[in-house]
Amino acid sequence: EEAKKQGLRNITTILSDGETRLHDESVDVILLYGVLPEIKDKESVLRELHRVLKPDGYVSTRFCFRIKKDRVLGIMESAGFSLIEQKGRILNFEKICNR
């Protein structure tokens, strides 16, 4: 709703159990703010995100008291993502394409 108010038409919010039903390599940016600690099956969800992310896309998430930076780095690297930038608590990852 907020995106529509701002005039942004190319944003889709997906509430899912992990399967997005999106085409391979069809997503530019994935925002995982405040949800990573809540995901029970992180491996399968991140595998799906890796599948749908474009080769030049990125995943942005953050660490906090509930999930520490080292844990986020380990989870994301295990899922085939590489840290490209950190801004405060925000971590941006690119897709490692050969996975």
Q: What is the pLDDT of residues 69-99, one digit of tens each?
A: 999 999 999 999 999 999 999 999 999 976 5
CA distance 62 to 46: 15
* Phi-psi group of 21: left, alpha or beta (phi > 0 → left; psi -120 to 50 → alpha; rest → beta): left
Q: What is the pLDDT of residues 13-36, one digit of tens each?
A: 777 777 888 999 999 999 999 889
Element (H, E) at 91: strand 90-95
CA distance 23 to 25: 6
Q: What is the pLDDT of residue 98?
A: 61
Question: Exposure of 45 by Cβ count < 10 A (0-12 exposed, 13-18 middle, 19+ buried)?
Answer: buried
Going along the chain from its start, the domains and CATH numbers come out as 28-99 (3.40.50.150)
- pTM, two decimals, is 0.84
